[in-house]
């Protein structure tokens, strides 16, 4: 600190740079650190920011203003019909030199296709979207007899589909109407918004206002018109966004100029429209231009990486399917616009015109169509590029439309069985031990699980296909271990490729020239997880076989048949691109721009990945590839999920509507991240989310790297049990879920069926999107998605009884259906109800993985209909892995319960084959003699049958043809007919009657009948076999089977592990496998010997460790004695000092009393006051400086870690910007030298060094001194009086005055004369003073040295007492510190252990600090300092001393302060064995040490001597 008489002013000046730095850093962090609670809407365009959308929406605005005066300039010319195709020219009167061609073709299934393209233009519009979306060319209707064609002057019409369908074309202006049974269903250009922007040359100056057009009133002549007068409002007001467009600092060059397409599509008399996924929105689509709950922007279709998206929004997210359905009672229609470009869709509703109702009435149709509703829906479709390619579907039923659309774009293939079971995922499971440990813990708590997933961190530097061998040294072995229990592994492979020349994939792609190009022909470069990245051009045919080959076992090192793939980031996601995606002027194969094909690329990527998995094995298995981006037709290649959702109730509530919408647009194999990808949901929400997941087609739990781990086994009871029940429920219903997948693969009907699909005539259910039916099973599911709910309402459309899946309580709707019924919704389960008239197949035995259940028995739940006499259902089974089902190797059974004959009380439950009905294009006809699968499961039975709702107890239940009855249990309850008897009254809380056959023994592959007789004399019965009791041992807990393991230790395993096809290691005698699936040898002798050897070695190590521990104890005892002796010595010293201090204080007080006046004078002096003020200022400045330096250090730490850990994380290039800003600040502050190295952007990233502990040094100026804090503290604590008294020693001896010099002669007087001299001097001074000749001097250290000496002596003693007291306190604290029960840990104080674990070297110093050092850049990170022993164990116990806690380490980026827990195990030496990060920034060390080798309870006597 500078020496100056104005310290306060100096402090103000010197604080300013620090304060400015602090505020700058705060602003930098607040500005650049990404948010974590909501979508960044400013990263994504609105319609107003998208040039073509803004233009076409403005066109609609001008049309609305013009109302009836609006005229479209488009007209049809020269229509013709040939070979089943209606063709015509189209002219735009505003541009008469531009020609368009129109073509309408017709398919055999009644679907019409309308195409419009520019003819003879400057270039070809993109016209290849259909080759990717359409599975195969549908069969066309081409025979003349299939059509009725009328071509007139003003209108052309074609009737097709047996005359039921018709298309009418009004010539001028263009109006296209599709009719069914004479009633308008779909109308194109009814609002006159058709607008195909033609290719043009950019004009210079003002465009022509006049043009020459044909004169309609005088054929063959032309007239000149003024464009704006002839068609007012049709032309755009300016050319904004036509030739160039900038958003978010990125410019789209638009070299082709404007080329958008606008078309209004009206559904007259339809108030509900559905589809156009993907949006987090309602099932029934909302209005976008006014109306209750309307959005303000159009629905957008543009595949984007929108993490933390809104739970209710029209925003585009990851997928795009431009398919829309309209529905009303008795009629369903739809349209599919085949466009791969960015598309916006406005939706408006208005009153249905009277003409529409009049037309319906006059048509006198005999169809089921109930006629127009009160509202008509109009949609406005706006696509950025491409031709107009529109498929029109006229239904008439929802199921017809599903069949028509999926026949066109493809149906889902049957997945492997594991794919529809439970998946456990997290970003990221960090190592092989972590992966296998998670699986092991699932097994410990008996929660089934089929797949565990690996996110991006498994790959070395995010170079996909290359394992990080530091954490996954033996991936093949890990996968084999998973496969041994029927599990699979899924690893992520994203489309971006790291741009490093030594990466073989990048090198091969460059050599093949299959990478995407910039508009000037250079390799396209962007940023993603790999850093600087390139993207394969999937539209290039050379890329397909190349990519497929990457999945061969020879090339994908470390992969096995148990490995499947996750395609993420395939929108594509480009962190530094516009809207976090690829620039639109990027060039793809064929010269097409990215704007033309953006929404399609992700689908091709998933396709070729799936082909790679199919081709890697000689006998191929069905692939599993999860995708995030999708397009129409993606359903052919695998599953999708709803992306980066949040762990909130709002996102949970949005899940079901999203899945329903995906399903009706073909993407029925879909699901959402259970628990939400972001955030830490409450325990209640986790339970509810698992219940939703249990019925989702794709069931995966997943979480962000920042979230706490949420595997179900980590939660306490009862919530762990609730989640466990949800997962086990999924496994129980897998037979029905798999059957629903089979049905969807045949019919295209979604797996989760909305209310309007199941009950298409019930208009009250059209907007319901919070409940659904599972396939055709009749199971109604109503997830609970509100916090704290204990009851809810289900909507029942029909008059059937509904039976609670869990309790069998029965509820009834209204007498004629259409009623909301309140039902209980406890947290333990969700409302799920069997619809009356359904038969539900399930497996009650739950194995650890799905594939292990293939020979387990089936249970049928028969829910009687309202008449109490009938029900039906089906079941599909195959091997769940291969394509053998396509050859007919499957079992498909139908079950029916009905009266034996009309009017007969006897009921028959029948099983019959449905194989003949299963035949489709993807499934071969059934050949019983060749059905290997049926033979393989010939001994699988329907064991248990549950009948709900019988009116009375049967007198006999038996197999047809047998005189011996089947044993059954009967429970009285409500009959299915109770609802009709009560006029539809509800009866919540009352159970239905229940009949249970425990051992029906009905083979699943055979036809059989079970007879239910009523009122007879009864029949003898065969006692049912209780298979569970047969496995249960009285020596084991309930649900456990006892393995005797003779020669080893007996064990109890779960009964579900018996006969599961796996030789359980706990049953070394092989007694767990007896049904022939697998032969398990008796290895107990070998296992027992190895076990005993292992235990002997553990005991030896413990004995050796205990011996070392005794040395630690001896050392601790000595240290303890030293401290006790030191305390005793210092105590004595303090007592002596205190006695001396009392005497010194008394002497000082006596002298001060005599000098009281002088002391008071000094305290009142200006010098004293200045010293006190300066000391106060010093203390204040020290505190403020410490606070500011702390803030700077903390912010520096945040930015330093951000720089070092840049990934780039959170798909946000602001992180990179913050890193660079921090680097610049360090250079400008003189803390770092400017980099002069050349290299890539990635190589020059800051962060190679940890600067978090550096604080900027104060600026040095002339005349300033930088005082250390200790020096300032010393100054602020000095006694002001002592400072004044010591002025002579601090500032030097004052110059001698004459009078003083005279009397200094005493120095030369002999000692014997001095007493007399003093008397003479005193007397003389007294006389001179009295006479006024001199003034009497005040007391000072010169003439009163005894006071100064007394004060110094007392201060010295006080300081010595303080130091001695501190020494004693330090010794007492050291003595009080818990060094273990026997002070054994004192020896280890400061001992450090470390281990190089690949990417990092970890170390922990006992009672010191835990650290992590990067092996790449040597950056050191504190994981915390020692704070306590175990926080969960009782103090003083062994467990208490087996754990250390280290906390308050460096803060994680976007996370908590780092911390570590150290688990100690007995060992013969101190060693760091392993480190894992179970939670973000929370580390778990495992350390061996003799300190915890506690004595064995029983010591081995006479054992061999242990050597250390």
Q: Which residues are catalytic?
A: 568, 571, 644
In angstroms, the Cα distances linking 119 to 84, 90, 100, 105, 198 are 21, 10, 5, 18, 10
- Closest C-alpha to 1106, from 774, 1364, 838, 1492: 1492
Torsions phi, psi for 375 (to 5 deg): -115, 145
Rounded to whole angstroms, the Cα distance separating 333 from 264 reads 16
Rounded to whole angstroms, the Cα distance separating 330 from 530 reads 53
3-state secondary structure string across 86-102: EEEEEEECCCCCCEEEE
Rounded to whole angstroms, the Cα distance separating 1228 from 30 reads 21
Rounded to whole angstroms, the Cα distance separating 607 from 627 reads 10
- Closest C-alpha to 489, from 424, 437, 550, 557: 424
Rounded to whole angstroms, the Cα distance separating 554 from 576 reads 35
How far is C-alpha 527 from the geometric centre of its chain's CA atoms? 21
- Closest C-alpha to 373, from 391, 360, 386, 388: 360
In angstroms, the Cα distances linking 267 to 178, 192, 262, 1197 are 10, 15, 17, 60
CB-facing half-sphere around the CA of 329: CA atoms within 13 A:
10
- Closest C-alpha to 407, from 632, 559, 692: 632
How many CB atoms lie under 10 A from the CB of residue 1497?
5
**Beta-carbon contacts of residue 146 (< 8 Å; ≥ 6 apart):** 84, 106, 160, 162
The two beta strands, 422-424 and 451-454, are parallel
Looking at residue 223, what DSSP letter applies? E
Rounded to whole angstroms, the Cα distance separating 744 from 750 reads 6
**CB-based burial of residue 23 (10 Å sphere; 0-12 exposed, 13-18 middle, 19+ buried)?**
exposed
In angstroms, the Cα distances linking 1052 to 449, 1026, 1081, 1159, 1240 are 21, 19, 18, 90, 61
Torsions phi, psi for 1168 (to 5 deg): -60, -45
Rounded to whole angstroms, the Cα distance separating 151 from 1082 reads 86
Rounded to whole angstroms, the Cα distance separating 596 from 586 reads 10
Torsions phi, psi for 331 (to 5 deg): -155, 135
Instruction: Record the tokens describing residue 1341, joined without a space.
Output: 């250290």
**CB-based burial of residue 365 (10 Å sphere; 0-12 exposed, 13-18 middle, 19+ buried)?**
middle
Q: Which residue has the tokens 């008399």?
A: 269
Burial 1090-1106 (b: 16+ CB within 10 A, else e): eeeeeeeeebbbbbbbb
Rounded to whole angstroms, the Cα distance separating 235 from 881 reads 58
Instruction: Record the tokens describing residue 1161, joined without a space.
Output: 């004078």
Rounded to whole angstroms, the Cα distance separating 1339 from 1328 reads 18
Rounded to whole angstroms, the Cα distance separating 172 from 73 reads 8
- Closest C-alpha to 519, from 583, 602, 577, 597: 583
Rounded to whole angstroms, the Cα distance separating 631 from 1023 reads 57
End-to-end CA distance of the chain: 59
Instruction: Record the tokens describing residue 652, joined without a space.
Output: 């949970």
């Amino acid at each position: 600190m500078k020496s100056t008489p104005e310290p306060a002013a100096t402090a103000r000046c010197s604080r300013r740079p620090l304060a400015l730095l602090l505020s700058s850093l705060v602003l930098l962090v607040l500005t650049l650190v990404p948010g974590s609670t909501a979508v960044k809407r400013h990263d994504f365009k609105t319609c107003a920011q998208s040039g073509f959308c803004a233009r076409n929406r403005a066109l609609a605005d001008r049309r609305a203003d013009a109302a009836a005066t609006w005229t479209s300039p488009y007209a049809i010319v020269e229509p013709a019909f040939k070979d089943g195709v209606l063709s015509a020219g189209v002219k735009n009167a505003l541009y008469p030199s531009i020609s368009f061609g129109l073509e309408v073709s017709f398919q055999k299934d009644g679907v019409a296709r309308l195409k419009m393209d520019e003819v003879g233009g400057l270039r070809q519009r993109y016209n290849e979207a259909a080759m990717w979306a359409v599975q195969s060319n549908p069969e066309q209707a081409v025979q003349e007899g299939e059509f009725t064609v009328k071509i007139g002057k003003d209108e052309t019409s074609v009737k097709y589909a047996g005359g039921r369908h018709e298309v009418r074309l009004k010539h001028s202006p263009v109006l296209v109407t599709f009719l069914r049974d004479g009633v308008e269903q779909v109308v194109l250009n009814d609002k006159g918004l058709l607008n195909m922007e033609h290719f043009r040359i950019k004009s210079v100056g003002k465009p022509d206002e006049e043009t020459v057009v044909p004169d309609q009133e005088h054929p063959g002549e032309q007239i000149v018109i003024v464009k704006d007068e002839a068609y007012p409002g049709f032309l755009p007001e300016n050319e904004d966004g036509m030739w160039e467009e900038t958003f978010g600092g990125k410019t789209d060059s638009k070299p082709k100029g404007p080329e958008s397409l606008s078309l209004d599509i009206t559904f007259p008399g339809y108030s509900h429209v559905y589809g156009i996924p993907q949006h987090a929105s309602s099932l029934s689509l909302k209005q976008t231009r006014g109306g209750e709950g309307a959005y303000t922007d159009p629905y957008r279709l543009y595949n984007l990486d929108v993490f933390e998206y809104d739970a209710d929004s029209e925003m585009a997210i990851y997928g795009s399917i431009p398919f829309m359905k309209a529905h009303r009672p008795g009629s369903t229609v739809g349209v599919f616009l085949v466009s791969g470009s960015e598309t916006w869709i406005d939706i408006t509703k208005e009153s249905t015109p009277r003409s529409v109702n009049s037309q319906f009435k006059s048509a006198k149709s005999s169809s089921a169509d109930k006629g127009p509703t009160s509202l008509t829906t109009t949609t406005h479709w706006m696509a950025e590029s491409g031709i107009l390619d529109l498929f029109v579907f006229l239904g008439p039923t929802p199921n017809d439309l599903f069949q028509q659309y999926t026949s066109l774009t493809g149906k889902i293939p049957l997945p492997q069985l594991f794919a529809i079971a439970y998946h456990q995922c997290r970003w990221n499971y960090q190592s092989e031990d972590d992966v296998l440990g998670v699986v092991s813990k699932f097994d410990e708590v008996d929660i089934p699980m089929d797949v565990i997933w690996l996110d991006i961190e498994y790959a070395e530097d995010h170079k996909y296909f290359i394992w990080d061998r530091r954490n996954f040294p033996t991936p093949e072995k890990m996968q084999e271990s998973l496969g041994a229990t029927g599990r699979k592994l899924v690893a992520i492979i994203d489309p971006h490729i790291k741009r490093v020349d030594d990466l073989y994939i990048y090198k091969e792609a460059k050599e093949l020239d299959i990478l995407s190009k910039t508009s000037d022909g250079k390799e396209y470069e962007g940023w993603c997880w790999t850093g600087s990245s390139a993207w394969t051009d999937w539209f290039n045919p050379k890329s397909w076989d190349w990519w497929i080959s990457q999945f061969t076992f020879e090339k994908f090192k470390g992969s096995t048949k148990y490995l499947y793939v996750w395609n993420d980031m395939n929108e594509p996601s480009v962190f530094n691109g516009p809207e976090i995606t690829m620039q639109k002027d990027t060039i793809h194969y064929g010269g097409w721009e990215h704007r033309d094909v953006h929404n399609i690329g992700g689908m091709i990527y998933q396709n070729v990945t799936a082909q790679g998995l199919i081709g890697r094995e000689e006998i191929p298995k069905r692939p599993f590839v999860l995708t995030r981006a999708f397009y129409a037709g993606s359903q052919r290649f695998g599953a999708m999920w709803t992306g980066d959702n949040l762990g909130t109730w709002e996102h949970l509530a949005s899940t079901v509507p999203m899945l329903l919408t995906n399903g009706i647009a073909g993407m029925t194999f879909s699901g959402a991240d259970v628990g939400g990808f972001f955030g830490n949901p409450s325990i209640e929400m986790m339970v509810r989310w698992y219940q939703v997941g249990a019925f989702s087609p794709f069931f995966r739990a997943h979480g962000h790297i920042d979230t706490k781990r949420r595997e179900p086994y980590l939660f306490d009871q009862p919530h762990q049990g609730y989640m466990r029940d949800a997962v086990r429920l999924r496994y129980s219903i897998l037979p029905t879920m798999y059957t629903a997948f089979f049905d969807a693969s045949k019919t295209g009907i979604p797996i989760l069926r909305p209310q309007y699909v199941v009950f298409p005539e019930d208009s009250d259910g059209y907007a319901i999107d919070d409940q659904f039916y599972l396939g055709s099973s009749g199971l109604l599911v109503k997830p609970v998605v509100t916090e704290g709910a204990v009851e809810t309402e289900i909507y029942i459309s029909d008059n059937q009884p509904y039976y609670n899946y869990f309790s069998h309580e029965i509820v009834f709707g209204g007498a004629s259906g259409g009623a909301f019924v309140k039902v209980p919704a406890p947290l333990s389960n969700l409302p799920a109800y069997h619809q009356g008239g359904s038969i539900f197949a399930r497996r009650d035995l739950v194995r650890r993985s799905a594939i292990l259940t293939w020979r387990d028995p089936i249970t049928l739940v028969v829910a009687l209909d309202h008449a109490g006499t009938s029900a039906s259902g089906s079941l599909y089974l195959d091997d769940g892995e291969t394509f053998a089902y396509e050859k007919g190797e499957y079992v498909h059974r139908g079950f029916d319960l009905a009266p034996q004959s009309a009017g007969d009380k006897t009921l028959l439950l029948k099983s019959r084959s449905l194989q003949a009905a299963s035949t489709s294009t993807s499934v071969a006809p059934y050949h019983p003699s060749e059905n290997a699968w049926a033979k393989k499961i010939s001994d699988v039975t329907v064991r248990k049958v549950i009948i709900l709702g019988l009116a009375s107890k049967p007198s006999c239940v038996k197999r047809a043809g047998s005189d011996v009855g089947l044993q059954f249990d009967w429970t009285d309850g409500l009959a299915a007919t109770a609802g009709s008897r009560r006029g539809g009254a509800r009866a919540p809380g009352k159970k239905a009657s229940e009949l249970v056959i425990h051992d029906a023994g009905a083979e699943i592959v055979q036809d059989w009948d079970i007879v239910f007789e009523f009122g007879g004399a009864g029949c003898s019965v065969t006692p049912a076999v209780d298979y569970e009791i047969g496995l249960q041992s009285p020596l084991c807990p309930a649900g456990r089977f006892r393995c005797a393991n003779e020669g080893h230790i007996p064990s109890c395993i779960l009964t579900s592990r018996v006969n599961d096809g796996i030789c359980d290691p706990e049953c070394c005698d092989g007694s767990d496998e007896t049904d022939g699936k697998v032969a398990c040898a008796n290895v107990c002798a070998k296992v027992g010997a190895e076990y005993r050897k292992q235990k002997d070695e553990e005991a030896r190590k413990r004995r050796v460790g205990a011996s070392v521990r005794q040395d630690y104890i001896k050392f601790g005892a000595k240290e303890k004695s030293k401290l006790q002796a030191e305390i005793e010595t210092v105590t004595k010293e303090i007592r002596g000092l205190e006695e001396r201090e009392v005497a010194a204080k008394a002497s000082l007080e006596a002298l001060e009393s005599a000098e009281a006046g002088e002391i008071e004078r000094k305290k009142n002096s200006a010098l004293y006051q200045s010293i006190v003020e300066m000391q106060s200022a010093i203390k204040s400045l020290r505190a403020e400086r410490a606070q500011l330096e702390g803030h700077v250090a903390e912010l520096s730490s945040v930015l330093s870690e951000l720089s070092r850990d840049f990934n780039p994380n959170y798909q946000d290039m602001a992180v990179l910007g913050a890193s660079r800003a921090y680097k610049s600040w360090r250079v400008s502050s003189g803390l770092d030298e400017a980099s002069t190295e050349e290299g890539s952007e990635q190589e020059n990233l800051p962060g190679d060094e940890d600067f978090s502990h550096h604080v900027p040094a104060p600026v040095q100026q002339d005349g300033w001194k930088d005082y250390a804090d200790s020096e300032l503290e010393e100054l602020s604590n000095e006694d002001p009086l002592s400072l004044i008294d010591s002025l002579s020693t601090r500032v030097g001896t004052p110059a001698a005055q004459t009078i003083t010099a005279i009397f200094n002669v005493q120095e030369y007087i002999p000692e014997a004369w001095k007493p007399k001299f003093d008397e003479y001097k005193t007397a003389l001074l007294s006389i001179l003073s009295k006479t006024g000749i001199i003034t009497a001097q005040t007391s000072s250290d010169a003439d009163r040295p005894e006071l100064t000496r007394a004060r110094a002596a007392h201060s010295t003693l006080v300081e010595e007492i303080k130091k001695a007291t501190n020494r004693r306190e330090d010794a007492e604290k050291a003595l009080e510190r818990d060094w273990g029960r026997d002070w054994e840990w004192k020896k280890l104080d400061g001992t450090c252990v470390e281990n190089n674990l690949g990417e990092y070297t970890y170390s922990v110093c006992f009672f010191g600090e835990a650290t992590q050092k990067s092996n790449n850049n040597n950056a050191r990170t504190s994981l915390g300092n020692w704070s306590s022993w175990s926080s969960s164990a009782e103090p003083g116990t062994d467990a208490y001393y087996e754990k250390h806690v280290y906390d308050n380490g460096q803060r994680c980026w976007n996370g908590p302060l780092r911390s570590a827990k150290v688990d100690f195990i007995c060992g013969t030496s101190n060693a760091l064995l392993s480190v894992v990060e179970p939670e973000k920034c929370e580390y778990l060390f495992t350390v061996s040490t003799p300190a915890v080798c506690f004595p064995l309870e029983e010591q081995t006597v006479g054992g061999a001597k242990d050597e250390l």
